[in-house]
Chain A
């Protein structure tokens, strides 16, 4: 995974709450069997509307998405994270995230940074009054800076550490292979297996 420490990029105000992963990427794009190439699918239905924020040239090159509460709820599709990254987003700011989306982001090097809703409102106003304003997100300091304001964000320490180091989760776990093998010797015999069962 690509390491993340600080990022500066154009902020994109997305004034909507409850942006579920079906809105981030509709199911029809989930038929692809690759892990990249989803940039065209991001917010697919909304992008057909000229008024949509990413259709505004001031925001089209944005890389820090500033969204309403409950971003990434619903379906577990990691394609939502891939689509955001493929489009060019490195950070999503919101006051509440869907749990699975937040977890998926952490695995893929997309920073899901949790801010107070009041701070989101302040940033929205700056971005709407001055389109193209850059936002700097510092993962070391856990701060977001937009124009004259700097606010702190929340992220759990472990995800922060993994993002800063760019560590791959599977390698970290396989270092504990002996513990896993030991645990397996103690599993009760009545636990089910998927091997062909009696008819």
Chain B
């Protein structure tokens, strides 16, 4: 029987089939752990006297709470410090490898997995984090799970799962200049809505997806959860194999050949059917920004702030009215005229080397808008090192930006990187929820290209808006001594 990619990967991991409507028991190839959603799971194991079944299929990193300045000093915030220390104790007690702050492989869990070559086609990947969908870019079935399930996987290396429905999202054609993977996924979410993917595994297909690099595919799969989906996937191809090859945990020699032979079987059969099919034309996808407080409330940058009256559904109308009040926006205002206070380049969506290169290309030789704070937070210590080797750090610093250490940072503000009340941010992260980046903070989700152009002009902008601006700004003085900078450049009282 013809099968979809997701069905193939599922079938290859069935430990036992559920009977009478019970879920299947699915084997998990890779379990990624971080400090926020794991402490209660380890406690549960201790209480029940259970070991971790497969520490050799489990890996941990510190990311959500880690500071992006002064990483050589003790973490100042006591509860953040306790959570990190708890992870260190737990991983030591249960024999799990941990990439701690300061380790070259420390960073956002969804950047670290692929970077190490642990994320591979046809694997099942889980993590107590909804953005685990990122790993689907490799043709892995990658699921975000809650803490009870984290404990379940630690104890059994399996999950009880009900089969998902499948949805194909086909994007054909070529993206216009200035648009990127982020705009594709924001356009998809605006089209199907934040609940459109509920119960589904999405498979991204079509010539526009095939042309994308692995990092761009990760950006798209990352935000599958923002469409409500359990997972997103892209069938592996030569681009995938090339990316995995030679990474620290990639198969070698005969193992490599056997792996590639298997990986080449991981595609949706021609006659297979999806439960739902969605089609987008790449040519139509302009640089996209969100105006509201959920990721489905987005529009092309050329549009204006909508009015609640533009929505037919009563819930959508009320939701838009709430969002506009929270965001401090007036219907009819062109999106391009919205001034921002902060630009955040980072998060598991857009903090990889290609994201930094794309932004650096826009800002090189320019000066940031005077009143804008521009934060660059690489996704991992490795990405930071690579960017420095390529001179990207100097470009960002000359532009007037802040070059930070790796972590989740202002995507969710569990560390000191937060927006102040009322502060407006163009952010390459994934969620524009109320208060997500700091109490009262206002978030517009954008691509790295739009983030960079916005930092140049000070209002939401596309690269096209800045392409005729000169690139002759003299480098700004940058203090050699990091200690001369304040710990957090703008007041962040949100954590009080």
Chain B 195-216 against A: per-residue CB contact (8 Å), 1 yes, 0 no? 1001100000000000000000
Chain B nearest Cβ from A102, distance in angstroms: 9
A158 in contact with B23 given A28-B495, A74-B225, A107-B148 (CB within 8 Å): yes
Chain B nearest Cβ from A184, distance in angstroms: 8
Count how many chain B residues have C-beta atoms less than 8 Å from C-beta atoms of the other chain. 89
| A100 x B152 contact (CB < 8 A) | no
A96 within 8 A of B: yes
| A99 x B118 contact (CB < 8 A) | no
Chain A nearest Cβ from B459, distance in angstroms: 26
Chain B nearest Cβ from A137, distance in angstroms: 21
| A77 x B146 contact (CB < 8 A) | yes
Interface residue tally on A, bucketed by range: 35 or more
| B435 x A22 contact (CB < 8 A) | yes
User: Could you say which residues of chain B place their CB within 8 Å of the CB of A20?
Assistant: 294, 431, 433
B249 within 8 A of A: yes
Closest partner residue, chain A, to B323 (CB atom): A18
* Cβ < 8 Å to A, chain B residues 39-78: 39-40, 43, 48, 50, 53, 55-59, 64-65, 77
Chain A nearest Cβ from B434, distance in angstroms: 6
Question: For the complex, what is the distance from the CA of A172 to the CA of B160, rounded to whole Å?
Answer: 10
| A76 x B129 contact (CB < 8 A) | yes
* Cβ < 8 Å to B, chain A residues 89-122: 96-100, 103-104, 107-108
A188 within 8 A of B: yes
* Cβ < 8 Å to A, chain B residues 411-456: 412-414, 431, 433-436, 439
Chain B nearest Cβ from A101, distance in angstroms: 8
Question: For the complex, what is the distance from the CA of A17 to the CA of B149, rounded to whole Å?
Answer: 27
* Cβ < 8 Å to B, chain A residues 153-175: 156-158, 169-170, 172-174
| B228 x A98 contact (CB < 8 A) | yes
Instruction: Select which of B40, B82, B129, B160 is within 8 A of A173 by beta carbon.
Output: B160
Chain A 10-36 against B: per-residue CB contact (8 Å), 1 yes, 0 no? 000001111010110011101111110
| A76 x B145 contact (CB < 8 A) | yes
Closest partner residue, chain B, to A189 (CB atom): B255
Q: Which of B18, B86, B157 has the most CB of A within 10 A?
A: B157
Instruction: Select which of A30, A78, A174 is within 8 A of B146 by beta carbon.
Output: A78
Question: For the complex, what is the distance from the CA of A18 to the CA of B118, rounded to whole Å?
Answer: 34
| B148 x A76 contact (CB < 8 A) | no
B304 within 8 A of A: no
| B156 x A158 contact (CB < 8 A) | no
User: Could you say which residues of chain A place their CB within 8 Å of the CB of B315?
Assistant: 17, 68-69
| B123 x A191 contact (CB < 8 A) | yes
* Cβ < 8 Å to B, chain A residues 175-199: 176-177, 179-180, 183-184, 187-199
Instruction: Select which of B58, B160, B262 is within 8 A of A169 by beta carbon.
Output: B160
Q: Which of B77, B195, B249, B262 has the most CB of A within 10 A?
A: B195
Chain B 303-335 against A: per-residue CB contact (8 Å), 1 yes, 0 no? 000000000000110110010000000000000
| B156 x A76 contact (CB < 8 A) | no
* Those 8 A-B pairs whose CB atoms lie nearest each other, nearest first: A107-B148, A104-B146, A78-B146, A197-B248, A33-B39, A31-B79, A190-B259, A190-B255
* Given pairs A156-B162, A172-B160, A173-B160, 17 additional interface contacts (CB within 8 A): A23-B433, A23-B434, A27-B412, A31-B77, A35-B40, A73-B194, A74-B226, A76-B146, A78-B146, A100-B146, A104-B148, A173-B155, A176-B25, A184-B157, A192-B29, A193-B57, A199-B248
Q: What residues make up the interface of B, taking CB atoms closer than 8 Å to A?
A: 15-16, 18, 20-23, 25, 27, 29-30, 36-37, 39-40, 43, 48, 50, 53, 55-59, 64-65, 77, 79-80, 82-83, 86, 97, 116-118, 120, 123, 128-130, 144-149, 151-152, 155-158, 160, 162, 194-195, 198-199, 225-226, 228-230, 248-251, 255-256, 258-259, 262, 294, 315-316, 318-319, 322, 412-414, 431, 433-436, 439, 495
Q: List 25 A-B pairs, Cβ < 8 Å.
A: A17-B319, A27-B412, A27-B413, A28-B495, A31-B65, A31-B414, A76-B37, A78-B37, A78-B148, A99-B198, A99-B229, A99-B230, A100-B130, A104-B146, A158-B18, A158-B22, A158-B162, A170-B48, A170-B50, A173-B158, A174-B155, A190-B258, A192-B118, A192-B120, A195-B56
